[in-house]
Chains A and B, each alone.
Chain A
Amino acid sequence: MSFLSRVPGPAWPLAAPADDGPGNPWFSWRYAHDNADEILTALQFHAGLTARAVIFALIVALPLAIGAYWWRPLAGPILALSGVLYTIPSLALLALVAPAVGTTRDTSVLIALVLYALLVLVRTILAGLTQVPAEVRDAAAGMGYGRFGRLLRIELPLALPGVLTGLRLATVSTVALVTVGSLIGQGGLGDLILGGFRNNFYKAEIMTGAILCVALALVLDLLIAGTGRLVTPWARGRRA
Chain B
Amino acid sequence: MSSFHEGFVWLNDPLNWTNPGGLLDRLEEHLVISLWAVLLGCLVGWPLGIWLGHRGRGGGAVVTLANLTLALPTLALLTILPLTPLGFGKPPVVVALAVFAVPPLLANSYTGLRQIDPETREAARGMGLSGGQLLRRVELPLSVPYLAAGLRTAAVQVVATAALAAFVNGGGLGEIISAGFGIGMSNGGGGQIVAGGIAVAVLALLVEGLLALLQRVVTPRALRGARRGRRLRNKFAT
Contact = CB atoms under 8 A, between A and B. Distances in A.
Contacts of B160: 87-92
25 contacts: A4-B21, A6-B169, A89-B204, A91-B160, A91-B174, A91-B177, A91-B200, A95-B193, A95-B197, A96-B4, A96-B194, A99-B185, A99-B190, A173-B234, A175-B71, A176-B70, A176-B73, A176-B236, A176-B237, A183-B167, A194-B167, A206-B83, A214-B73, A217-B71, A221-B71
A218 B71 contact: yes
Question: What is the size category of the interface that chain A forms with chain B?
Answer: 35 or more
B178 A6 contact: yes
B225 to A, nearest CB: 17
B167 A89 contact: no
B123 interface: no
A80 interface: no
A12 interface: no
A89 B238 contact: yes
Interface string B67-104: 10011111110011011000000000000000000000
Q: Is the interface of A mostly helix, strand, loop or mixed?
A: helix
Interface in A168-203: 169, 172-173, 175-177, 179-180, 182-184, 187, 190, 193-194, 196-197, 201, 203
Contact of A190 (B6, B75, B161): B75
Contacts, number: 170
Interface residues of B, number: 57
Q: Which of B188, B190, B236 has the most CB of A within 10 A?
A: B236
Given A95-B194, A99-B194, A173-B234, A214 B75 contact: no
B167 A182 contact: yes
B50 interface: no
A100 interface: yes
A221 B64 CA distance: 13
Q: A4, A103, A116, A176: which has the most chain B beta carbons within 10 Å?
A: A176
Given A93-B201, A172-B71, 9 more contacts: A5-B182, A87-B160, A89-B159, A89-B201, A91-B174, A172-B70, A193-B76, A206-B79, A206-B80
Residue picked from B6, B182, B193, B235, most chain A C-beta under 10 Å: B235
Interface of B: 1, 3-4, 6, 19, 21, 67, 70-76, 79-80, 82-83, 156, 159-161, 163-164, 166-169, 174, 177-183, 185, 187-188, 190, 193-194, 196-201, 204-205, 208, 233-238
